[in-house]
Structure 1
Amino acid sequence: MDSDDDLYDGDCGYDDEDEAMEGDDDGAGDGFYDDDDDCGHEEDPVRRERPLEFTAIKKESLSMAQQQDLSMVMGMFNIKQHHARALLIHYRWDTYRLNDHLERKGQDRMLMEAGVVLQQQESNSAVVPPPAAASKKRTKPSRKKTKVTCEVCFEDSSPGAFWTMDCGHSFCNDCWTGHFSAALDGGSKQIRCMAFRCPAICDEDAVRRLLGRRDPAAAERFHDFLLRSYVDDNSAVKWCPSVPHCGRAVRLAAADGEPPACEVECPCGACFCFRCAAPAHSPCPCAMWARWEAKGRGEGENVKWMLANTKSCPKCFKPIIKDGGCNLITCKCGQHLCWLCGGATGFSHTWTSIANHSCNRFEAEEKKKVDDARRHVRRYEHYYTRFESHDASCRAEREQLGPAVAARAARLEALGGCLLKDASWLGSAHQSLLACRQALARSYAFAYYMFDGEETPTRPPLEPGGLPMVRRQDLFEDYQEQVEANVERLSKLLTELPEEEEEVLRVRQHAVNHTGTVEKLCRQMYSCIQDELLPMLVEPMSIMSYQPGGPSKATELPA
């Protein structure tokens, strides 16, 4: 989410000092928002999480970022860099998992499973067949010993034209190069030895060197593969999904296993979910958001509308829409049909019946099918129009209201005065408005799937005497309604900023109160989703905790 100032630290969770505030009946509150005010509300049951730290890595810095993990593994196992890379790729760059397996499996088994074969001798020498037992009478070496036969192409070459990998297999440089090129064309980041059933990973330096002699572009592509593996095979690093791509990857610091549900803002301004790499979508779970976006891109709703409002001609199969009149329909192709059942008929009819045609036994079934299709369309329309309305309002408040609020804050601070010298409250209120407006829009995508038993199966309450789904839905919609009302009040307040000093002081008072109120209600809506609604799903889902300042901000990795 774009913002004018970095007003929050981007933690997943909220500070210990955040408390509920006392407000008036409409949720606005007339008094100053006081962090120390005890209004009697119980603390929200939201999990307090450790702050998450993100680092943005440019493509030219990926090598330096990799080197930290490579150096650690090289020292831990006393192995070379290409062995450490093979081991990390095998464990998807998860150093926590690697340490755990080291304790349980031991180093030798881990290296074997990762295809790492340690070279017995440091120097790379050609494998020359040992000479046969020579007669004591022979004084001159055989000329055949100056040539070595490659077991792939069966060509004889000098020992200098052969390369031996760590596993001990030796083939001519031409065969190795052809093998490397074929593996690269197949998309392999790790190239294994071409000996039969040999699992060893080839030395990346040898791959680059041999490829570079024949095809420098292929050697560069292999180097790029190794760099990209740090992102593509690493659950703690994601490419920024910005379009056009900003060229950055974002790394979650100290990620133990699968990354938690969280959202991050790249320095380029793109906000995305770190778990699924989709645009930021909380409080809608990843699975529901994927279905919502696919639904918006697809033609499913058009088909449902056609089913609910049209009939197909039994002759030319073109869709027909009926706008008043009796049930006898005449298509442009000349075919007559009954609107109730869609079957072909004659032309003779009265207002209430068609001659020699009866479809009364199908009427109830047809009506139910049409009613169901119409209900699905209207239900989707209800949630989509509200989602789109809040999404459009958020864009306008970011692109138009944001610069206006920043300019107004600058003018207030320029005027000075003991009461107006700090106008940071304007930026805080605007940032909270954007965060809550986005959460409100996405809550309609969540509600569309959460409360549709056909698309999202639910289970009865697990605890005895637990609230039924209808009551939980009422609770959620009550929070959603309160968030919506207070977001609109805050937006109107920031849009109509006065010029008089006395009025500015009054607006500041209401803005601080509204900011605290809308954040508290938004936090409660998140808690309701996590604690009351998601446990009812047959398919387990989770969402991130409420972040009052929006997604966590990634800091740029120094070059």
Structure 2
Amino acid sequence: MIVFFSSFIQSYRNSMSQGKDSVDTKVDDDSEYEEDEEDDYDDYYNNSDDALSDDNDQDDVGDKGDVSENNNVKKKVHDLEYFQYTCMTLEEVDKKLDQDCAVVADNLKVSKSVAAVILQSHKWQVTAILQSATNQKDRLKILTKSGVQDSVPAAQSKVKISSKMECGVCFDVQPKHKLERLPCGHAYCKDCWLTHTEYTVKSGMPDGIQCMAKECRLRCPKDFAVKFLSSKPEVLQKFNKLLLDLYIGAHYQLRFCIGADCQMVMYAEVPKARQVECKSCRSVFCFECGNNYHSPSNCDTITKWLTKCRDDSETANYICANTKSCPQCHICIEKNGGCNHITCWKCKYDFCWMCLRDWRSHGNSYYSCSTYLENPLIAEQSHEDRAREALKKYLFYFERWENHDRSLQLEEEARKKIMVQIEEKVNRNEGTWIDWQYLLRAGELLAKCRLTLKNTYPLAYYASQGAEKELFEYQQAQLELEIEELSWKLERAGSYQRGDIENQMDVAGKRRQTLLAHFLRD
């Protein structure tokens, strides 16, 4: 296994080195499949309409089975990352939900308000509900499970029905037609229902409005609650908003945008853990879990990692300072850019910010500063030693995760400066706007690759030791190497030809595609 793995790595490294040396060989970046950036990246890689047509013709041939290995990797990444979704307003969502309610209400012979409660309890899976309600017995099971009908009908329950009844809350005896009740038969006066519904709404209505009887879990349909809240418009307005929030939160195909004060909702026919972008506030997040997009880590992994980071962040922040000493002259250096290739301003020593080793050693073999070396004897050591080793491992991955996050922020500022520089060059007649677009595309690709690299560290932290993890860390290291090379050239774009930067973009894009093709799970 070790011999096979070593030979595989060597052949893989040789093939990627050949791809890097060839400037003329271009493979479209995976971002061509993103709707908003498709035209930009097609133009960048093809540079002409004719080339674009030729490339599309080649893709058509490839769809028939005759495709290169690089195109196969690109197609696999596209199939894994491509995600069809729609940004909807609250009005559009409300209309869609009303249509679903009408379908269920017609099939189950209930009101639309009751249908909404049923749908909410079943995550708005209309097809599943309709397939389950094949007969009257199944229909009653659905109504009972959804909390709109009691398992014991009101006529057979212990609640006594007479011409006059006592309110179960205030104990006033009133004619029964003045009392309101759900199908469970628990009757209360209108004033008590108003107080109950108003208080529940003002408390945030986390689970809707339920019957006031102890241990009764029947839910109030919308039309039942509106009867009491219609006299208080402000409370009614808040009730409608909270109810819509509950509906959307329970819907398996809908997700609220995570942007601050954004009212957009994402809709996906087939929900997946994929990236979505709000067309209103431009927030980007994972559709499934609502966190920042975290490919290739899955939702469970990133959730565990973020929880751990919150618990241990103060320890990590205390140990991981923003300044380090130059390994050669020991002068204090502050990192002010996204690139991890640091040149000491005093002695001009080139080193890696993460491992503080000579930068020249990073291009020959494994990018060793991205691989954590486990202690093989840790299981035999004391509890204190194991705890210390666990913290050391966590800090190793956290520091790299945090460093790439800071690099993303710094490089975002750098892209803004590039925009200003391009405008100045165009105003000085040093080329047209189109001539300098490759710098912006390089910045966008760098951000995409670095985000992927950042999200590899939680996956590596929780991965078990073995050949698969070794392959993952190798591809992770190669991606990191090319990212830092691209970052270095982009920060010093004036010292490099356009072809050098474009070639580096091509190589970095391939590295990302290869890693995702192997380790991104559907």
* TM-based fold match above 0.5: yes
Q: Distance in 1 between matches of 2:273 and 2:455?
A: 16
| TM-fit CA distance, 1:438 | 0.9
Q: Deviations along 1:498-533, whole A, 9 cap, x unmatched?
A: 49xxx7xx51x3444333322222122123334xxx
Q: Secondary structure at the match of 1:31?
A: coil
> Which deviates the most, 94-103 or 167-176?
167-176
| TM-fit CA distance, 1:226 | 1.2
| TM-fit CA distance, 1:477 | 1.7
**Match of 2:519, as an amino acid?**
I
Q: Distance in 2 between matches of 1:79 and 1:414?
A: 71
Give the structure 2 partner of residue 43 of structure 1: 72
Q: Distance in 1 between matches of 2:223 and 2:263?
A: 26
Report if aligned partners of 1:162, 1:170 keep a CA contact under 8 Å in 2: yes
- 29 and 250 in structure 1: CA distance in 2 versus 1, 3 angstrom threshold: farther
Q: Deviations along 1:405-437, whole A, 9 cap, x unmatched?
A: 4752895699698x9846554443322211110
Q: Deviations along 1:376-406, whole A, 9 cap, x unmatched?
A: 3433333223222222211111122245147
Q: Distance in 2 between matches of 1:39 and 1:67?
A: 49
Report if aligned partners of 2:104, 2:130 keep a CA contact under 8 Å in 1: no
Give the structure 2 partner of residue 478 of structure 1: 474
| TM-fit CA distance, 1:485 | 1.7
- 40 and 409 in structure 1: CA distance in 2 versus 1, 3 angstrom threshold: farther
Q: Distance in 2 between matches of 1:283 and 1:217?
A: 46
Q: Distance in 1 between matches of 2:380 and 2:176?
A: 83
Q: Deviations along 1:224-252, whole A, 9 cap, x unmatched?
A: 3311112222232233334xx22335323
| TM-fit CA distance, 1:172 | 3.2
Q: Secondary structure at the match of 2:255?
A: strand
- 41 and 225 in structure 1: CA distance in 2 versus 1, 3 angstrom threshold: closer
Give the structure 1 partner of residue 97 of structure 2: 66
- 1:300-319 equivalences under 5 Å are 302=315
- 42 and 165 in structure 1: CA distance in 2 versus 1, 3 angstrom threshold: closer
2:222 to 204, 223, 229: 204
Q: Distance in 2 between matches of 1:162 and 1:392?
A: 62
The answer for unaligned runs of 5 or more in structure 2 is: 1-14, 29-54, 59-66, 151-159, 320-377
Report if aligned partners of 1:23, 1:30 keep a CA contact under 8 Å in 2: no
- 1:177-216 equivalences under 5 Å are 177-181=194-198, 184=201, 187=205, 189-193=207-211, 201-213=219-231
2:273 to 255, 261, 264: 261
Q: Distance in 2 between matches of 1:63 and 1:150?
A: 39
Matched, 1:110 2:142: yes
Report if aligned partners of 2:83, 2:275 keep a CA contact under 8 Å in 1: no
Q: Distance in 1 between matches of 2:379 and 2:69?
A: 56
Q: Distance in 1 between matches of 2:139 and 2:382?
A: 66
Give the structure 2 partner of residue 441 of structure 1: 454
- 1:230-309 equivalences under 5 Å are 230-242=247-259, 245-255=260-270, 259-266=271-278, 267-299=280-312, 302=315
Q: Distance in 1 between matches of 2:206 and 2:427?
A: 58
Query: What's the Cα RMSD here?
Result: 4.4
Report if aligned partners of 2:143, 2:149 keep a CA contact under 8 Å in 1: yes
| TM-fit CA distance, 1:164 | 6.0
Report if aligned partners of 1:289, 1:445 keep a CA contact under 8 Å in 2: yes
Report if aligned partners of 2:27, 2:71 keep a CA contact under 8 Å in 1: no
Matched, 1:384 2:398: yes
1:514 to 497, 500, 504: 504
Q: Distance in 2 between matches of 1:117 and 1:403?
A: 63
Q: Distance in 1 between matches of 2:439 and 2:247?
A: 41
Question: What is the percent sequence identity of the aligned residues?
Answer: 24
Higher relative contact order (CA 8 A, sep 6+): 1
**Match of 2:295, as an amino acid?**
S
Q: Secondary structure at the match of 1:444?
A: helix
Give the structure 2 partner of residue 121 of structure 1: none
TM-score by length of structure 1 reads 0.59
- 409 and 261 in structure 1: CA distance in 2 versus 1, 3 angstrom threshold: farther
- 521 and 113 in structure 1: CA distance in 2 versus 1, 3 angstrom threshold: same
**Match of 1:513, as an amino acid?**
N
Q: Distance in 2 between matches of 1:50 and 1:26?
A: 23
Q: Distance in 1 between matches of 2:399 and 2:206?
A: 46
Report if aligned partners of 1:241, 1:270 keep a CA contact under 8 Å in 2: yes
> Which deviates the most, 439-448 or 59-68?
59-68
Q: Distance in 2 between matches of 1:301 and 1:128?
A: 62
| TM-fit CA distance, 1:262 | 1.4
Report if aligned partners of 2:258, 2:290 keep a CA contact under 8 Å in 1: yes
2:488 to 467, 480, 492: 492
Report if aligned partners of 2:256, 2:264 keep a CA contact under 8 Å in 1: yes
Report if aligned partners of 1:412, 1:421 keep a CA contact under 8 Å in 2: no
Structure 1's consecutive aligned runs of 4 or more residues displaced over 6 angstroms after TM superposition are: 166-169, 195-199, 364-367
Report if aligned partners of 2:87, 2:267 keep a CA contact under 8 Å in 1: no
Q: Distance in 2 between matches of 1:39 and 1:129?
A: 81
| TM-fit CA distance, 1:196 | 8.8
Give the structure 2 partner of residue 523 of structure 1: 513
- 400 and 161 in structure 1: CA distance in 2 versus 1, 3 angstrom threshold: same
Q: Distance in 1 between matches of 2:71 and 2:491?
A: 33
Report if aligned partners of 1:264, 1:273 keep a CA contact under 8 Å in 2: yes
- 117 and 515 in structure 1: CA distance in 2 versus 1, 3 angstrom threshold: same
The answer for unaligned runs of 5 or more in structure 1 is: 1-21, 119-126, 131-147, 307-363, 452-468, 531-542, 545-559
Report if aligned partners of 2:181, 2:187 keep a CA contact under 8 Å in 1: yes
Q: Secondary structure at the match of 2:285?
A: strand
